[in-house]
Structures are given as structure tokens and as C-alpha cells.
Amino acid sequence: MALSCNNTLFPKPFVTSCSSQTQGTHFSNLPQPTKQDPIFKIKGPSTLSGHITVSGSKNASLPLLAATLCCSGTSLLHNLPNVSDIQAMASILSSLGAKVDAFDGKMMVNSDGVGKVEVDLEEMKKIRGGFFVIGPLVARFGEAVVALPGGCNIGKRPVDLHLRGLRALGAVVELRQVVPINSPFIFLVGSLLDGKVWARAANGRGLVGGKFRLDYPSVGATETLMMAASMADGTTVLSNVAKVMEPEVVDLARFLTDCGAWIEGAGSDNLIIRGKRQLYGSECVIKPDRIETGTFMLAAAITRSCILMSPVIPSRVSCLIDKLSQAGCKISRLDQQTLQVSAHPSHIGYDLKSFDIKTNPFPGFPTDLQPQTMALLTTCTGSSLVEESVFDNRMTHGMYKLSYNT
């Protein structure tokens, strides 16, 4: 899906000197029609300044928390972001019987006490990432009952690759939905929007090694099957997987390896995993969130501001750095983990120029930065083309008129 932007439809944003007193941006949290639909009123214009501390990656944290279910003993994760998804995943682990202690941006998880394999339906509705537990539960405990994932409404995000991959590792997988008590049918089996996935090891003991080729290099499916295969009996070969250089896949593979897993294939689209009967708890530090980093970089560009941010891993946002540099932003690496992003006219000498983007898996342009980038492009000189190739419903924000009130 593609959408073109022409800045002639939108007036230029207000800017002030980077060295002058920054005007305040005012946020009014208005009464909420529902808890699921908060409204924020933002009064501008203003510029940004100062230093931003980037949180740990949410997209890396969720599969890492799920992976603790694979481990005997205690795992300790550092630098977890303080967001509701992390709290929801911790609640899911606790509901299964794991002991979870959170303190000072850290989380300690011991899953030796897990006594159930069915995830509470209401907990699963809160986050899509809760579905990650299906792989570890089947691999370690031989069975899992998990609701089909909820989460954000950005288009079709099927889990068929996860389920077909588990079948290739010796699991029996069914999709079921309980119907009203007065129905002549107890269960419906098929592709359901609000059903549950029932998975169990066909041999009654655990998963076995196998071969599976993903139709699409899905990050979520790769992570789910990597966790499952790490405890399967024998060798598993996964092909056409999300590249092991994909940041979140890298982080998970490193953690599982530290826990005792054997994973080979870094840098390729094939993974060879030799399952281990038992993995042991380990410790890891969550890397900085590349999407949060990119969002603040784009905020600096949109408001024509100059800001610092750390910690940052530049190689994980290199695609955005290239695009913003192409537009005219000045991006400097002050030390190993600190970036300075400036789009102020006094620094760059001219207004920002338009550019085109097409979303793709890493190292391509991140789909999670596409909406913010589109907002920036409405303020740039010239026309731009935005193409979304990952999610089919991630252009809805482009259907609303963006304007500045001066």
C-alpha cells in the first residue's frame, strides 16, 4: 500500500532558535470516553531541547520474558521498559505459576513453580506478545492452551506460521472456540478470530526436531519456533527465518544460548538448533529500543529542534539515520552511545527536503516508524511516497487531515 504526501497542503511548522527559551508544550488529558480510547490534547507550537534517556526495547523484552519459561531456576532481566505490555506479560507468567519480582527496572523470573498451561483469556486480550508463551509451554511442559492474540489494530497478523511450525516439531495443534451452552455443538474447529489454540506434544512427552520453512520471514514466528526448538529432542532446521541480524532475534538467540541452548546460523536465513533437555536461568540486559530512538529522532526533525539521546545503538537505526540525513538533518555521534539530532534551520541552513520510504524487515525501514515519518514528510519541501509492505492496515492515520494551528 502506498500513499503520497505533498507539503503544499500543509503550512510549515513554527520554529524558534535552538538556543532560545523553549516554549512549553501543554498536554491536557481530557475525559476518556472509554478506558480503551484515551484522548490527549496537545497545544503547540514548540521546539524540543535537552537529553532523552532511551528505554529498553519492548519488542525484545516480551519474547525474552516468555523464554524464561524454558528455564529451570531464576532468570534476571535488566533495563525493562516501564510500559503496560511488560506488566501484562509479567501478569501472564504469574498466572501460570511463575514467581515474578520486579524492582528498579529489573525483573526476576523463576518458572519452576509453573503448574498450569492455560493462559487466562482476559490476560491474553491485553497484548499480542502474550502468544509467545505457546512455544516454551509446549516445549517444556508438553502442552499449552493459549487464546489467539489481541493487541493493536494494524491489519492482518496471522499466527499460522507459528502453528504450522509447531506441528513440524511434533505438536498436535487445534483451534477451538466454546459456543453458547444451548448450542448443539460444543466446539468449533477452524480458523477463528476469538478462539483458543490447543497444542500438545503428539508423543506425550515433548517436541522433536524437524524441518520447517517459513513462507515469510516473520520475526514473531521465528522467535516462537526458536524457543520451542531449543528444548525439542533432536536437531531442528528452520529456513527462510527472520534474519538473525534482526535485533530482537539477536537478543533472544543470545539469551537462549546463555541459558544452554545450541543455535547456529547467525547472519543467514537458516537456523540449526540442537535441542537440550534442560535450559537454565540466565541474566541479560535489554538493549535500547530502536523504535523509541527513532520516534525521538523524528520528533526532533518535525519540530525543527536539536536534542541529545542515549543509550543508542546506531546500527539498529541506520536506515532512519540515512533518510533523515538525506532530508538535511545533522546527526552526530558524540560518543559510543549518544546521538545528537538537529533539524534547526540555524544548524542546517535550509528547510528539510522530502524523501521516499518503503517499509521492510530489518535492516529495511521499520514499519513501526512509518506513521511518525509520514507526519514529518507533511512538513518537508517537495512530494514524498510512503509504501507500507508489512501490515495491510497501517495507513489509517493517513486518512485524516493533518494540519497545524498557528
Per-residue pLDDT at 37: 63
pLDDT at 162 over 50: yes
Strands 357-358, 383-387: pairing is parallel
Among candidate residues 106, 130, 126, 127, the one with its CA nearest the CA of residue 56: 106
Average pLDDT, the chain: 84
Whether 152 is a known active-site residue: answer yes
Question: For residue 32, is pLDDT > 50?
Answer: no
Domains and CATH numbers, the chain: 58-178+192-285 (3.65.10.10), 288-398 (3.65.10.10)
- The predicted pLDDT at position 226 comes to 96
Name the percent of the chain lying above pLDDT 90. Answer: 66
Q: What confidence tens digit (pLDDT) does each residue in 390-404 have?
A: 766 666 666 655 444
**CA-atom Rg of the chain in angstroms:** 23
For the stretch 206-230, pLDDT in tens is 999 999 999 988 899 999 999 999 9
> At 264, which amino acid appears?
E
Question: In sequence order, what are the residues at sequence separation of 6 or more whose Cβ sits closer than 8 angstroms to the Cβ of residue 107?
Answer: 65, 76, 77, 80, 86, 90, 100, 101
**What is the band of 24 on the pLDDT scale with cuts at 50, 70, 90?**
very low
pTM to 2 decimal places: 0.83
**Pick from 29-33, 263-267, 288-292, 305-309: least confident:** 29-33
pLDDT at residue 309, rounded to an integer: 98
What is the rounded distance in angstroms from the CA atom of residue 189 to the CA atom of residue 186? 10
Confidence band, pLDDT 50/70/90 cuts, at residue 183: very low
Q: For position 13, what pLDDT does the model report?
A: 39
Give me 152's grid cell: 493493536
Q: Kindly indicate the confidence band of residue 296, based on its pLDDT and cuts at 50, 70 and 90.
A: very high
Higher pLDDT, 194 or 356: 356
d(CA 386, CA 190): 36
**Mean pLDDT for the stretch of residues 138-144:** 96
Degrees (nearest 5) of the Cα angle 346, 7, 393?
Answer: 120
Does 184 score more than 70 pLDDT?
no
> Quick one: pLDDT band at residue 59, thresholds 50, 70, 90?
very high
Of 305 and 39, the structure prediction assigns the larger pLDDT to: 305
Catalytic option among 152, 284, 306, 319:
152
What backbone phi and psi angles, to 5 degrees, belong to 363? -90, 20
